[in-house]
Structure 1
Amino acid sequence: MTEIEKQANKWLILLHSGEASQQDIQAFKQWLQVSSCHVETYRHAESLWRMTRYSESLYTTHTTRSSRKSTYMLSTMATAALLLIACVLFFQLQPVSPMQGERLLTTDVGQIQTFTLADNSSVTLGGDSKVSVWFEEAQRSTRLIKGDALFDVQHAPQRPFVTYIDDAQITVLGTRYDVQKRPYQNSVTVGHGKVNVANNREEVSLTPGQKVNLVTNKIGKVSYVEPDFFAQWKQQRFAFSHHTLEDVVSVINRHNLTPVRIATPTLRTLRVTVAFSAVQSFQVLESLAQQYEFDIKKTPSEILLF
Structure 2
Amino acid sequence: MTPTVYSDAMRDEAVAWFVRLQECDDETVWLEHQDWLEANPAHAAAYSAVERLWIESDDLPQLEAAEPAAEVIDLSARRAARFGRYRYWLPAAAAAAMVGAVSLQFERGSGETYRTGADATRVVALADGSRIVLNRNTEVTVHLARNRRAAELASGEAAFDIRHEADRPFVVAAGGREIRVLGTEFDVLNDAGAFGVTVRRGLVAVSGTGGTAAARLPAGTALLRPPGARSDTVSRANPDDAFAWTHGQLVYADRPLDAVARDLARYGGGTVSVDPALRDTRVTGVIRIGDPATLDRQLEQLLPIRIEQHNGQRAIVPARH
- Scaled by the length of structure 1, the TM-score of the pair is 0.58
Question: Structure 1: which amino acid aligns with 2:225?
Answer: L
2:101 equivalent among 22, 31, 36:
36
Instruction: Report the RMSD for the aligned CA atoms in angstroms.
Output: 3.2
Match of 2:304 in 1: 290
Residue equivalent to 2:204:
195
1:236 aligns with 2:248: yes
- 1:211-250 to structure 2, matched below 5 A, reads 211-215=222-226, 218-225=231-238, 228-250=240-262
Seen in structure 2, the aligned counterparts of structure 1 residues 261 and 135 have a Cα distance that, compared at 3 Å, is same
Aligned AA for 1:195? Answer: V
Deviations 1:216-247 (A, max 9, x none): 6633223131x543500112211334544342
Contact 1:155 1:173 in 2 (8 A): yes
| Structure 1 residue 284: Cα displacement | 3.5
Going from structure 1 to structure 2, the CA distance change for 1:235 and 1:299 (only over 3 Å counts) comes to farther
* Alpha-carbon offset, residue 288 of structure 1: 6.4
- State which of 145, 153, 170 in structure 2 corresponds to 1:144: 153
The one-letter amino acid paired with 1:240 is Y
Write out aligned runs for 1:42-53 (5 A): none
Deviation at 1:250, TM superposition (A): 2.2
Which residue number in structure 1 is paired with residue 134 of structure 2? 125
Q: Bigger radius of gyration, 1 or 2?
A: 1
Pairs within 5 Å for 1:55-70: none
Relative to structure 1, the CA distance from residue 228 to residue 102 in structure 2 (aligned partners, 3 Å threshold; closer, same or farther) is closer
The change in CA–CA distance for 1:241 and 1:154 in structure 2 (over 3 A counts) is same
The letter of the residue matching 1:222 is S
Return the TM-score normalized by structure 2: 0.56
Q: Give the alignment of 1:1-306 within 5 angstroms.
A: 36=101, 39-40=103-104, 101-200=110-209, 201-215=212-226, 218-225=231-238, 228-256=240-268, 259=270, 261-262=272-273, 266=276, 270-275=280-285, 276-279=287-290, 280-287=294-301, 290=304, 296-298=307-309, 301-306=312-317
Say which is worse superposed, 121-130 or 228-237, in terms of deviation: 228-237
Gaps of 5+ in 2: 1-98
Secondary structure of the 1:222 match is strand
- Cα contact 2:221–2:235 (8 A) shared by 1: yes
Is the contact made by 1:256 and 1:278 (CA closer than 8 Å) also made in structure 2?
no
1:301 Cα deviation from its structure 2 partner: 4.2
SS of the counterpart of 1:143? strand
Deviation at 1:172, TM superposition (A): 0.6
Q: Give me the whole-angstrom Cα distance separating, in 2, the residues matched to 1:268 and 1:164.
A: 33
| Contact 2:257–2:283 (Cα < 8 Å) also in 1 | no
**Which of structure 1's runs of 4+ aligned residues deviate more than 6 A?**
none
Q: More relative contact order in 1 or in 2 (CA 8 Å, sep 6+)?
A: 2
